[in-house]
Amino acid sequence: MLEIRPNCELCDADLPPNSLEACICSYECTFCKNCVATVLKNVCPNCGGGFSPRPIRPVKSHRPGVGLEYQLPSTRRVTAKYSMDEMIEFSNIVHSAPPDKR
């Protein structure tokens, strides 16, 4: 089950559970669409993979025991462990290969 992290790891923008602006990699690193497009060039600075839109967990439980009322999103804010320059340099090296070829 996804953690549903509350913020962009780069710019720290709020990304609530229902945000259409949240993107995640296969390790669930979380960034906003703007940072993914403009700074990271669709390259996760942590693993080198690509990003997909983060799914939205239903607010209402349509099945017993599943939904936001039972599986709360994370409140732990995560920030990037690399500097902006390191992330840009990494993205510039890796982005030329499509995510499925990295």
Residue 15 belongs to some domain of the structure: no
pLDDT given at position 18: 96
| Residue 61 included in any domain | yes
Q: What percent of the chain has pLDDT over 70?
A: 100
Range of the domain at 93: 22-97
Give pTM, 2 decimals. 0.92
DSSP-derived letter for residue 14 is B
Domain count for the chain, please give it: 1
pLDDT of residue 48: 97
Whether 14 maps to a domain, the answer reads no
Q: Is residue 12 part of a domain?
A: no
Mean predicted confidence (pLDDT) in 40-66: 95
The answer as to whether 6 is a domain residue is no
- What are the backbone angles phi and psi of residue 52, rounded to the nearest 5°? -130, 155
Residue range 36-63: average pLDDT?
96
Of 13, 18, 98, 91, nearest to 55 by C-alpha is: 18
User: Is 27 inside any structural domain?
Assistant: yes
pLDDT in tens, 55-87: 999 999 999 999 999 999 999 999 999 999 999
In a domain, 2, yes or no: no
Q: Judge whether 5 lies within some domain.
A: no
